[in-house]
Amino acid sequence: MHPVLLPTCCVACGVVGPRLCGPCSRSLVPARPLPVPAGLDGCYALIDYAGTGRAVVSAVKFRHDRSLAAVLAPALARVLPSAEVARTPVITWCPTSGRRRRDRGYDQAEVLARAVGRSLGLPVHRLLRRGAGAPQTGRSAADRRRPLPLVARGRVPAQIVVVDDVCTTGATLEAAAAAVRGAGAARVIGLVLAATPPPRSAGRAQATSCASRQPLQAERA
């Protein structure tokens, strides 16, 4: 018997075709420059976590959409400055909670990290483990600021890029930076698929520069 090939649909609008159709790809908003979370030497994001960006993150995070992660990885990799790529020996990721990993059967940050590593030709290693604790999804900003139980797995390289799916308060990346620095890292860079856009009042000063940006387009599958 031949396998039944079901048509794929765009994760944002549902139209039959690639996992992210042309119009939805063009509607993605490039992320604003991020405040650098404590303990990091730089932090870069690809898209705003709003509108189409929220649908994209949900597909990777909750529906194990590896094909979409592969489509987005080259664009995410290009967000990282070439100087950081040249000095970075290892990419790692912020691990999700054990319960979420068991429920989903995968870790979305690991999926992204490995796709970025393939795109850049850099090794990807599991350098962090996560202890017991509530998942960040759905928590208030105050709750997100509470220390996360992230621990480095032995000694780590001096230069590291830490990948995560979404940066909201920066608390997860801060915890990751503290863990790897305590294990020997000297330079830590954050790289995230999406960042929560600032409130309108906080973003007005950036309105002119953001409006002049070209729409982001993901790679075709």
In DSSP notation, 160-201 reads EEEEEEEESSSHHHHHHHHHHHHTT-SEEEEEEEEEPPPPHH
Which region holds residue 142: left if phi is over 0, alpha if psi is between -120 and 50, else beta? alpha
DSSP reduced 3-state for 30 = strand
Q: Among the listed ranges 7-21, 39-53, 98-112, which one has the minimum average pLDDT value?
A: 98-112
Domain residue extents for the chain: 29-211
199 vs 142, more confident: 199
Distance between CA atoms of 98 and 151, rounded to whole angstroms? 14
pTM over 0.75, yes/no: yes
Q: What is the CATH number of domain 29-211?
A: 3.40.50.2020
Mean pLDDT of 5-31: 90
Strands 128-130 and 150-152: antiparallel
